[in-house]
Structure formats: C-alpha cells, structure tokens
Chain A
Amino acid sequence: MKLRPFRLSLLGLSLLIPGALAAVVLFLLIYSGQAIGFNGLHFLYTINWNLGDLYDDPVQVGNVQVPSGANYGILVFIVGTLLSSFIAILIAVPLSMGAAICLAEALPAKIRPVLSMLVELVAVVPSVVFGLWGIAVLIPFIGDYLSPTGNGYGLLATSVVLALMITPIIATTLLDALLQVPKENRESAFALGATHFEVVTKAMMPMVRTTLIGGIVLALGRALGETMAVLMVSGGGINILPTSIFSPVSTIASFIVGQLDSAEADPTNMSIRALAEIALVLFIITLAVNSAAKLLTSGALNVRKRSH
C-alpha cells in the first residue's frame, strides 16, 4: 500500500479528538482510583460529605492516607442534579413546544427567521450571565413573592434558570421537525375539517414525536452538566436532601467548583481524588443521556426520510 503522508497527518490531527476524550476518562479514572477503593459503593448512596479534620494527623485506612473522620457521600448531589434537571424539563417542555408550534404554524413566514433567531440566541448566552440574571432578577422575585422563607436561592431558582437555558434546544429541534412534516399530511387534515390547532396536535405532532423526545433528552444532558448558573442560584445545599422546591441544593457540577478551595487544603489529596470520582460519575451520567438522545434523533431522522 502506498504511504500517504498528507492523509496520515490529517488522520493524526483528527485522532487527537478521541485521544483527548480517552485521556479525560483515563486520568480521571487513575487519579480517583484510591478514592474509589476507599469509598466503595457508599459513595453513591450516603448523604454525608465530610472532608475530615484537615489539621489532625491523617489516618491509615487500608493502604491509603485519609484525613481523620473523612467520609465522602454524594447522594445529595446526585439527587440535586437529577431533581433540578427533571423539574427544568417539566417547565421547559411545554414552553418550547408552544414556541416551536407558534413559530412553525401561527406566525407569517416573514417574521419567522427573526423570532427563531431570537430563540437560538437564548442558547448562546453564557451560563455565567444566566447566573447573573438569576441573582439580579429571579432570586429577588422568588424571595419576595413565592418562597415562604423569603430566600430565593434554591431548587426552584435552579430549575427555572436551567429550563430557560434548555428551551432553545428543544424548541429548535421541534421546529426543524415540524417544518419537515410533508404538506400532504397537513392538508389532508385540513380537508377533513380539522381546526388549525387540531391539525398541529393530531396530524403533525404524532409524526415528530420521536424527534421531540430526542430533543428533550439532549436538553436533559445539557442541564445535568450545567455548572455556573446553577452554582450562582442554587444556594449550595450540602449534606441535606431537599425537602421542598425552595430548599437549597447542589448539583454534581456546581459542587465540584464550590469545593476547590477546601479540597486544596487537604494534605492527603484524598478529597481531590474524591472530586475526580464525582467528575467521573457526572461524565458517565451525561454520556448515557447523550447516547440515548443520539439514538433517538438519528432513528427519527430515518423515519422522516422514509416518509417523504
């Protein structure tokens, strides 16, 4: 076979992408190894995150050094992550369905590009600016009008900000799908005497259902890993499970950022290793969700092509 240096060098460049991904997984795995051994499965279902006494002499557990009294349990953060993302989806789905249907069917084609661009622009607002807006506008509102304690930081604020951040993902996915529904399907529904809204809900939506679900799962993947906005409005609840929608929470992603300073003070580095283990858990969760989204959306595309 002829050696093709040009192709090979391009291949080398593109292999850097899977290489980077492999390095991320590998280094997180290697670095968290001791923590995984020390924590066992307790890690996933205990709610007590305690760095231990960082100034006392470390104790020997098995063959690793740990600060005395240290215990790492992340159930609170797993619950916070799943719960806030789940509520965010509950808020975002109806909003983005309404927005997409409105854009696809109700508005004249002339103003559609402008409004759909506005929807897309929501997705490019940096996370930290959403957090700023949350602190400036949303938190005072929740604190003044909704929360019984007068404190706006917590699960509700987190979910609302997350919902706003993911609506464009769901809305644009659904809009693209709705615009591709064959004209014949719409027109035959109209010809049967359906109202315009019935055409949308009964003739068009069933055709795009799989794509919609794919978009929702994709949005879920995004919400699970969102960091800055959550960190700024969540209230940072630690070691207590949320009891109401106004309880302070932490998500896995926001907790990792919040713990930087205290983890650096740990002479045994065990808490840094435990944080690497958390990062690994977050990676696995988002990987599973994103793969599911990919399967759903690619499957849906096939269905749509066949129906043309």
Chain B
Amino acid sequence: MSASAATNPPARSGQEIRRIIIDKIGWVACGIGLLLVIAPLVDIVGVVAFHGASAFSLKLFTTVTNGTGGGLLNAIEGTFIITFGAMLIAVPIGVGAGIYLSEYGNNKLGSTIRFLSDVLTGTPSIVLGYFSYIVFIISLGWDFSVLAGAITIAILIVPYLARITELALRQVPTAMREAGFALGASEPTVVFKIILPGAASGVVTGTLLALAISVGETAPLIYTAGWSNYTWNGKLTHEPIGYLTYVIWTFIDQPFAESHALAYAAAFLVMLVVLAINIGVRLAIRRTKFV
C-alpha cells in the first residue's frame, strides 16, 4: 500500500484521497471484526479460569455434589466413564468405516455412505438425544443410564472419526500399498501393518478430537444419562450418572455463591480438557491438513 503512495506525485485528486480514506476505514473495520471474534474467546477463558481456579480445592475431587454445592467427584467420574464408554463403542466403528471409505470406498456406495455420514454430523445433538430417549429409555426401559448416554455420544462422534480416519489414510502413498501387495501380503496385513501405522498420527488426532467433543457435550446426555449425586455403582442400565457439563448448566441458575463456584470449577475442568486437546493437536500437526 505504501509503495504506491511513494511513486505518486504529491498532489492528490479528491477522488484519490477518498479512495485512500476508504482503504484505511476498511482495514480498521476488518481489524475490529477480528478483534470481536477473538475477544469473547479470551474473555470466556479468562472468566472461567478466574472463577474456576478460585473454586479449586482438594474437596472438589474427593466429595460428591449435593443439592447446592459439595465437590465434583461424581461428575468427574461420570464424564470419564461416559466418554470412555463412548470411545469404546465409537473408535472401532469409526476407524473401521474410515478404512473402508479410504481403501474400498471409491464407488457409489462409498459416496453414499460419506454423504449420509455428513448428514449425521449435521444433525443437532438434541435430536440424537431425543432419539435415544424414546428408544433406550422409553421403549427398552433402561431408565437414565450410562449405556444410553455412551451410545448416544458414540453415534455423535462416529461420523467425525470415520471422516478423519479416511483423510489420514488417504495421505499414505499408494506405492506403499502396492509394495505390500507385491510382497504377497493379504489385505488385512496391508491395512493393519502398513497403512494404519503410516497414518497413526492422523487416527490419533481424530480420536483425541472426538474425545474433546464427548467431554463437552450436554444436550444429548440430559435425555439419556440423567443425573446422579452419587458415584457410579457399576450398573450399565437402570442407574443414572452425573457428568460435568450438567453441573455447569444447572448450578449456575441457583441463587447460591457456592453453587456458582461449583459451576465455574466444572466449566474450568471441561475447558481445560477441550482446549488442551485442541491446542495440542493443532500444534502437533500444524502442517498437515486434517483439521
């Protein structure tokens, strides 16, 4: 911009001055736009970290919630169990589907699955939650339970896992597959010994991002996992379970400072996990294009 100004004669016409002014105003407006997009994130992290960190104590990790306060032991444990269960269901399905789409999915069937997988990704999570509610809770009579919650979260993250796995596998050069087959390796050997190890970082990335999604979800769990003030007793069905995001949602609406502190502490923990995963993944794979 300044280069053109230097070569211009000093006397500028009115039109030129107008154009330069518009140029400056335009850039200032764009800068304000960027600021307004990023500022809320900084403020959210700041507010949550400030209130959340000041609510931290040992008691938070050793006691369970009661009606208005207490600790977060049951919620932390519940989030961990639901997430673990969801990953247990979703990772084999998602990675398997990703392998199929990448290795054998270059046909009509493959693109149909891809399209429907995108439709599932775009489906609001509350719709999935309500589906699970009428199927698992009402029709199958499981009551609010770990299993219903984990299956719902699994349905939510499987399409992500499949697409990210597919993208990762596609980056493995075809020559490596051909080399494997030329040595007489069978299809499973090529996939598990050559392609998957070659794309391991991409698959791990997808799994971590799916983990971050399931830790932060709320809406599909309200209708499936319910809520419990107690730690898990090991039953998969007929026993509701607590989770961190529920604490954020309900305790902030209570009139007590103690409840608010607990909501912020829960938000702080959730943000810590979600941001750590997302920042870590982005720093690790800055140059590749999975995300």
Contacts and interface: CB of A to CB of B under 8 A. Distances in A.
Are A and B bound to each other? Answer: yes
Chain B interface secondary structure, helix, strand, loop or mixed?
helix
Contacts of A290: 118-119, 122
A49 interface: no
Contacts of A119: 34, 37-38
Nearest to B117: A17
Nearest to A9: B96
A148 B27 CA distance: 34
B170 interface: no
Given A13-B97, A106-B27, A257-B219, A23 B19 contact: no
Contact of A129 (B31, B48, B135, B279): B48
Contacts of B274: 124-126
Given A11-B100, A17-B97, A95 B44 contact: no
Contacts of B212: 124
A283 B127 CA distance: 7
Contact of A128 (B103, B117, B216, B275): B216
B263 A132 contact: yes
Interface in A110-137: 113, 115, 117-122, 124-133, 135-137
Given A16-B93, A122-B37, A282-B127, A98 B31 contact: yes
Contacts of B131: 23-24, 27-28, 279
Contacts of A228: 218-219, 245, 249
Nearest to B273: A126
Band of interface residues on B: 35 or more
Contacts of B252: 132, 135-136, 232
Given A96-B33, A102-B34, A195-B23, A14 B113 contact: yes
A28 B134 contact: yes
Nearest to A125: B44
Interface string B31-66: 111101110110110011001000000000000000
Nearest to B101: A14
Most buried by A among B30, B96, B120, B128: B30
- Decide if the interface of chain A is mainly helix, strand, loop or mixed: helix
Contacts of A103: 34
Interface stretch (A180-188, A219-227, A237-245): A219-227
B19 A198 contact: yes
Given A10-B100, A28-B134, A125-B274, A95 B36 contact: yes
A96 B37 CA distance: 7
Interface in B148-177: 155, 158-159, 162
Contacts of B51: 136
B30 A106 contact: yes
A149 B122 CA distance: 37
A167 B37 contact: yes
Given A133-B48, A198-B19, A198-B23, A126 B218 contact: yes
B256 to A, nearest CB: 15
B275 A124 contact: yes
A225 B119 CA distance: 13
Contacts of B104: 7, 10-11
B290 interface: no
Contacts of B188: 6
Contacts of A10: 96-97, 99-100, 103-104
A196 B23 contact: yes
B126 interface: yes
What size tier do the contact residues of chain A reach? 35 or more
Contacts of B216: 124-129
Contacts of B44: 125, 129-130, 133
B223 interface: yes
Given A228-B218, A282-B127, A13 B40 contact: no
B284 interface: no
A18 B124 CA distance: 16
Nearest to A201: B26
A97 interface: yes
Contacts of B20: 195
A102 B31 contact: yes
A164 interface: yes
Contacts of B93: 13, 16-17
6 contacts: A99-B36, A102-B34, A128-B267, A129-B270, A129-B271, A283-B124
Among all A-B residue pairs, the 7 with the closest Cβ atoms? A98-B33, A225-B124, A126-B216, A13-B96, A14-B97, A290-B122, A197-B26
Interface of A: 4, 6-7, 9-11, 13-18, 20-21, 23-24, 27-28, 31, 94-99, 101-103, 106, 113, 115, 117-122, 124-133, 135-137, 164, 167-168, 171, 190, 193, 195-198, 200-201, 221, 224-228, 231-232, 253, 256-257, 260, 269, 272, 275-276, 279, 282-283, 286-287, 290-291, 294
